Structure 1
């Protein structure tokens, strides 16, 4: 274990298990939540504690900044799963800003991730301007829709899928049994998806309570005509009535997983058919989700959120670019500017239908870019031509950005369904 470092006289070091409760309270303070936690919440979160992966900054014995990371698997373009260092729980108390505490914790964690052989690091940024200086770039986006059900034009007499499938309401224990296999199928086809461990399923079905405001949701499962589970959704419904005893209820989706278009269609139609529900809030979806196109009137689904979501920091350029597939064929020489000595250099990418190779080279660079820009391009969502127009990447050879787009961009956008 690396020794403690000091920033402005403050100890930056791994948190011991005995300090875990103080660390949790510091996280709550940093995120402007009430720093008083129940014993049930503390013990539920303690199950995730891994020595060395929780960092803190201590001033006179008081935890004033927090940081944690954990092992994650991330789906690259083409379905390969790569090892990721997932960063979360990052806070600095307002009394200790601008003292290099985050930089100290980030440097320690990324160096350890590089030593472990992780291919990338990931995080979901609460604030946009912070993480670019550490080499992270926004690699996926999220969209949320609100559906005006009466306007959508769906058949009000709908009573179930027309494809021979069926939808059933189930309990949390059924979700814990059926959900992991379904999510694994999603991860095999969805770039940007991350794994969900056993504790995730317990937390999100109420088997382990870490949120004092937890309320059990409804769980719906779609089975195809053959009886195979192909979709699942968790949702809440409020209790809102207008004048004249008119129902004005809203169904809010916590998460919805469909591994076939038929499953997605059936689950959205089910949610829009629930008696008394006049609005459906979609929860986090991919920006190019099928949802609006499944409605006779797509304008009934209005986007209420469109924002960056999963950020990626490349730790190993060669392995990252070789892990994914490419929709085109060709060769591209990239000059990647590092930010901390861990990653960077000049690489020759040779991509084709049979796979890709990425090797260090002394050839002249065609495209020069930073680690954050490479992270934004890696899952196929961002455009190198767009970044070049914004002055974020530089062409050393005319047409290099267009060539990069032909290789790197994907026909469907990547999506990360989860917050961590």
Structure 2
């Protein structure tokens, strides 16, 4: 989770101090190692000895607590790569924090390595002094130099990261379902397609969950990789005091042929009303599948639990099928709907060649970038089978900032809408409509994880 000085909120079993399994050679450039500004504040890499002070600065920036316990410090230490952990030091004390880590991002037609950014804070005593700019610009330049095509983050506040070339690339929606109104058969006793659902213990989740999620990742643009530590946190093998863990129920769907195709994790608040009737709210913490049959079966399962009055979800895809699985879709209402995953193009050629496109066509894109990392004019020739991209001197069809290209990249934003808003300039009539057909995807991108 990233921001200047905001507090993240999530019940996902994620650890902001957890790197992903992708190997990376990125480290901040020498200019970001021990560089003191005119104000006397030094930007430098964090050492292991300084790590507790850096963690205290995170707690201050996120308004978590004025102090951090030893248990919290030690619980998060295992996920830290100190070569990619930065901070701003004033008078011997950390007053700003920043960290990046390697990640795999699912894109239309494949996956790409991504430079993920997290743990961004600036203490309230040091706001508006350019500390975030000093940390981020050097780090993004290093990622660009290392050949990483894109950077990702989850922004706690909307206005901050557009000025660094990020655009909102995937949104998330949380739902609340009143079970008395769904119209589902109260006698539901299992999947209608011959499959089966079983409760599974944590050791089985650790064994089978990662492989299933890898299959899910390959088909869900916007999803990001989960490493071993993620699964250890999700199943309670590692516990961090600031991330209270209560064991959820895990259930798995297997098809009629026995293939594992979906898993769900859910918990209940265990409440009764004044008439001594169960009035539980079931919270779906995880639900990922690789087939529509599994998705339907698992939603019908959690919406048919005895003693439950309602089901709530964490952030789901903005076009999630949940409401339309119900005979009465109005039983489901949106609790929150907002931007979620932000994306920054670092290498235009590699990024645009790394995904497939809805139709075969060509576009010349003039990309503007205040940081200079992605600026230039590029010809994209792409289609359902792949793409080629190269710098060109041809006249531009569309002119847009790096942030708008990031918003378009996963297929969620509309080029036609951005042109109507004035965020994209159409230099050739019809170019926005052509970009719409190329970039947009049939299903919207979705990132299930805070990081």
Q: TM-score, normalised by structure 2?
A: 0.91
Match of 2:188 in 1: 158
- The answer to whether structure 1 residue 18 and structure 2 residue 12 are counterparts is no
SS at match of 2:50: helix
- SS of corresponding position for 1:278: strand
State the shift of 1:227 in Å: 1.6
* 1:194 pairs with 2:258: no
Change in CA separation of 1:168 and 1:39 when aligned onto 2, cut-off 3 Å: farther
Question: Corresponding residue for 2:16?
Answer: none
Per the alignment, residue 23 of structure 2 pairs with: none
2:85 to 54, 59, 71: 54
State the number of aligned residues: 419
Distance 2:248 2:70 in 1: 23
Partner of 1:404: 435
- 1:99 and 2:129 are equivalent in the alignment: yes
Secondary structure of the 2:82 match is coil
Alignment of 1:137 onto 2:167: yes
Q: How far apart, CA to CA, are the structure 2 residues paired with 1:193 and 1:288?
A: 15
SS at match of 2:261: strand
Quick one: which of 306, 309, 313 aligns to 2:344?
A: 313
Whether 1:184 aligns to 2:214 is yes
Shift of 1:380: 0.6
Tell me which residue corresponds to 1:33. 64
Instruction: Say if 1:28 and 1:34, in contact at 8 Å, map to a contact too.
Output: yes
Alpha-carbon distance in 1 for matches of 2:135, 2:418: 30
Out of 367, 377, 387, the position equivalent to 2:408 is 377
Name the Cα RMSD after superposition.
Answer: 1.2
The corresponding residue for 1:230 is 261
Deviations 1:217-267 (A, max 9, x none): 111111111222111111110022112112211001111111111111111
Provide the rounded CA distance (Å) in 2 between the counterparts of 1:40 and 1:205.
Answer: 19
State the distance in 1 between where 2:399 and 2:372 align. Answer: 17
Q: What is the aligned partner in structure 1 of residue 20 from structure 2?
A: none
Residue deviations 1:280-333 (CA, integer Å, cap 9, x gap): 002111011111111000110101110001000000000111110011111100
Q: Structure 1 residue 35: deviation in Å? A: 4.0
**1:337 and 2:368 matched:** yes
Q: Matches of 2:249 and 2:68 in 1, distance apart?
A: 26
Distance 2:50 2:301 in 1: 47
Between the aligned partners of 1:42 and 1:194, the Cα distance in structure 2 is: 25
Tell me the equivalent position of 2:115.
85
For residues 29 and 187 of structure 1, what CA distance do their matches in structure 2 show? Answer: 34
In the alignment, does 2:383 pair up with 1:352?
Answer: yes
Alpha-carbon distance, 1:41 to partner = 2.9
* Maintained 8 Å contact 1:335/1:347: yes
Query: How far apart are residue 6 of structure 1 and its match?
Result: 2.5
Q: C-alpha distance in 2, partners of 1:172/1:60? A: 47
Counterpart pick for 1:267 among 298, 301, 305 = 298
Partner SS, residue 311 of structure 1 = strand
1:44 Cα deviation (Å)? 2.5
What is the alpha-carbon distance in structure 2 between the residues aligned to residue 308 and residue 16 of structure 1?
Answer: 34
> SS where residue 42 of structure 1 aligns?
helix
Residue 307 of structure 1: SS of its match in structure 2? strand
Q: CA deviation at 1:37?
A: 3.4
The 1:269/1:354 distance shift into structure 2, 3 A limit, reads closer
Alpha-carbon distance in structure 2 between the residues aligned to 1:247 and 1:38: 38
Q: Secondary structure at the match of 1:58?
A: strand
Q: 2:17 maps to which residue? A: none
CA deviation string 1:45-97 (max 9, x = no partner): 1111112211101111111110000000101111x111100000100011000
Structure 1: gaps spanning 5 or more residues: none
Contact 1:17 1:49 in 2 (8 A): no
* Cα deviation digits, residues 99-153 of structure 1 (max 9, x gap): 1000001012101111221110000000000000000000000011100001001
